[in-house]
Amino acid sequence: MEILTQLIFSGIALGMIYAVIAFGYQLTFATSDTLNFGQGDALMLGALVGLTLVGMGVNYWLMIPIVCVFGAIQGAVVERIGVRPAIRIKSEFGWIMSTIALGIIFKNVAENVWGHDDLKFPSPLPESPIRLLGANVLPMEILVVVGAVAMMAAVELFNRKTIWGKAVVATFNDREAARLMGINTGLVITFSYALSSMSAALAGVMIAPLTLTGATMGAVLGLKAFAVAIIGGLTSGMGIIVGGIILGIAEKLTGFYLSTGYQDVPGLVLLLIVLAVRPAGLFGKTAIKKV
């Protein structure tokens, strides 16, 4: 029972990380119907940049805003180089290929800069677990949950309360109409990519102390976060949190009771099943097809 509770706790922490990355997918999909196939690499870059900063003696908490800025710039670059030209030439899958290509480049650069080995990220909080409901919980895990919720809440607040946020929401709803109302939708799309990569970078520095940091850490995280975005529905904020937690716990349970080699499987299988049965996701709305 104690083990189960513990698995559930670490599953929730992992799930919240997925939710933050999936949140990034939602942001760009809403504004431009595209998403960054290199989202996992954005996370990896965030974690590695954070690691370097910490290594240079920068305080963990001070490092976070710097990494966020870095993530935002990286996202904007992806949008400018990878997505905007593809949208302009109306290439069907050009943006898929170009964001994948950028992801591969980022990963390769990271390998050459930081090496092929996984690195240990020093934990900013004590690494001795605290007792909660009879299970051991790492303080870092609690920080992940709090940080993830705070991040998503901050973006939601921004969207609802500020005029720039309203421009973003308008672009979500109807890109053409928003453009006709004088909103620079191109800028909004760039902005959504910046936000998206920023949340991934933040997720990177939050999860890094719990796992190891390395050039290959992003790929599978990005794919599983996509599974979460689909399971929850690409339009539902609540969906990704629930989807993330379901997946996080499912993985921890599989890893413990079956084999750690299989722990990536449930998420991917769940993704295939959800798409085969209910493509709009558990919480998403089915769109009416217009002819």
Partner 1 sequence: MKSRPLLLAAVGLAALAGFPFVVANPYYIHLAQTIAIYAILLFGLDIVVGYTGQVSLGHAGLFGIGAYTAGVLFMKFSAPLLVTLLAGVVVTAGFGALLALPALRVTGPYLAMVTLAFGTIIQILINEMTDLTNGAMGITLQRPRLLGATLDERGFYFVICFLLVAALVVVHRILRSHLGRAFEALRGSPVASDCMGVSVYRYKVYAFVISAGLAGLAGSLYAYSEKYISPNTWNFELTVLLLLAIIMGGRKTRSGALLGAAIIVILPKLLDDLELFRYVSVTLAVVVVAGAAVLVARGRSTVARSAIPVIGSVTLAVLSFVLTSMTDWRLSIFGLITLLVVYYLQDGIVGYVRQSLGWRGHGADDAAQAATLAAPASAVSTSTAAGTGELVAADQVLMQFGGLKALNEVTLHVARGTIHGLIGPNGSGKSTMMNVLTGIYVPTAGAIAFKGQSIVGRTSARIALAGIARTFQNVQLFGEMTALQNVLVGLHHSYRSNLLDVALHLPRFRREEREAAARAYALLKFVGLESLAGEEARNLPYGKQRLLEIARALALNPELLLLDEPAAGLTAPDIKELVVIIRKIREHGITLILIEHHMDVVMSVCDVVTVLDFGQKIAEGTPAAVQSDPQVIKAYLGSEAH
* Residue where the block lists tokens 């672009």: 171
Residue 120, beta-bridge partner list: 212
24-43 footprint of partner 1 as x/- string (CB under 8 A): ----------xx-x------
Q: Which residue, 101 or 119, is less far from partner 1 as judged by CB?
A: 101
Q: Does 186 bind partner 1 (CB under 8 A)?
A: no
The secondary element (H helix, E strand) that includes residue 74 is helix 60-78
Q: Count how many residues are written for the chain.
A: 291
> Which of 144, 172, 163, 159 has the alpha carbon at shortest distance from 234?
172
Q: Does 76 bind partner 1 (CB under 8 A)?
A: no
Q: Does 114 bind partner 1 (CB under 8 A)?
A: no
Rounded CA separation 183/20 (Å): 27
Q: Quick count: other Cβ atoms within 10 Å of Cβ 15?
A: 29
Rounded CA separation 229/241 (Å): 9
Q: Does 175 bind partner 1 (CB under 8 A)?
A: no
Size of the site for partner 1 (CB under 8 A): 46
Rounded CA separation 98/175 (Å): 22
Q: Does 107 bind partner 1 (CB under 8 A)?
A: yes
191-230 footprint of partner 1 as x/- string (CB under 8 A): ----------------------------xx--x--xx--x
Q: Which residues contact partner 1 by CB under 8 A? A: 34-35, 37, 81-82, 85-86, 89, 91-94, 96-98, 100-102, 104-105, 107-109, 111-112, 219-220, 223, 226-227, 230, 259, 261-262, 264-265, 268-269, 271-272, 275-276, 279, 288-289, 291
